[in-house]
A = this chain, B = another copy of it.
Amino acid sequence: MSDAPKPKRGRPSTLDIDKTLDVAMGAYWQNDPVDVSLNAICDLASVSKPALYRIFGGEDGLMRAVLDRYAEQVLSDIFKILARDAPVNETLAALIHFASQEPKMATGCVFYKMRAGKHRLGPKTRERVAEIDTAAVQAFEAYLVARSDDGDWDGDQSPAMVARYLVEQIGLALTQRAAGEDPAGIRDTLALALSVIQRP
């Protein structure tokens, strides 16, 4: 995974990759990724543009690296909720809380922000976005199928469709948070949207 063979000669690198990625992730998270320029990130991280270029190969590479890190550090929370394999009502409640109340999602979600403006992304980043998107749908679908086997969910609709529905509704809620809307209102709206899945 790591492609840093650490050369045995030459001037030692002073660029802190982790710090740079954290700064970039913060900037992409706080604002819209497409509105954050490479120059701005260089200033924030106190890194020169060529240095950033040597490591990430350009804006596309940086965004992709940030997205990878974000998936590990943040999106994993969602996958963990599904992996608990808890009853549907409980899982939905956890998802609603995560999307509408969780403080760290107060400015929305880097993944959904990137997905919303995917036509402006570079090829590598766009590819990662697509991968994460399908991975998320598959995780939701797997969860639903598992609960269906346990008899907890009586799939009137196809699991694939409901999985897609969940991904989109959570994305809508997180987009609304990014827009600064009232969390309580977002929670109620998302709860209404997800109520179609509850047991009768």
Residues of A within 8 A of B (CB): 32, 35, 116-120, 157, 161-162, 164-165, 168-169, 172, 175-176, 179, 185, 188-189, 192-193, 195-196
Residues of B within 8 A of A118 (CB): 179
Q: Is the interface of A mostly helix, strand, loop or mixed?
A: helix
Copies in the complex: 2
A168–B189 touching, CB < 8 Å: yes
Residues of B within 8 A of A35 (CB): 119-120
CA distance in complex: A35, B165 (Å)? 28
Given contacts A32-B119, A116-B116, A120-B35, is CB(A192)–CB(B172) below 8 Å? Answer: no
- With both chains docked as a complex, state the minimum distance between the C-beta of A13 and any C-beta of chain B, in angstroms: 36
